[in-house]
Amino acid sequence: MLIYGISLGPVVWLYVPEIIPARRVPWATMMNWFGASICVICTPIALAQNDGNPYPVFLFFGLVTVTLFIVNFLLI
């Protein structure tokens, strides 16, 4: 919780209402929760498929994070 609090995690909740119309904020919040839920649900399943080896799973999540960072950097 401490690392989340001092990172960019909480910025999403402040930044989203500033860049989109108020009627779209609930949808953006829903998508944020949906994405987090997918990660939480899929991680144990993917770890079980790799015999407990975390490297491919976290490499995949890391690559997705870097890719989306570049997209956000260029578009926002």
- How far is C-alpha 55 from the geometric centre of its chain's CA atoms? 18
Three-state SS at 60: helix
pLDDT of residue 41: 92
Question: For the whole model, what pTM was predicted?
Answer: 0.63
Segment 7-60, tens digit of pLDDT: 777 787 888 888 889 899 999 889 888 988 998 898 888 888 888 788 888 898
pLDDT of residue 70: 94
Question: Which tokens go with 61?
Answer: 């999540």
Residue 72 has pLDDT above 80, yes or no: yes
8 A C-beta contact, residue 10 and residue 4: yes
CA dihedral (36, 40, 41, 42) positive or negative: positive
pLDDT of residue 34: 92
Q: Is residue 52 left, alpha or beta, with left meaning phi > 0 and alpha meaning psi from -120 to 50?
A: left
Domain boundaries, the chain: 2-75
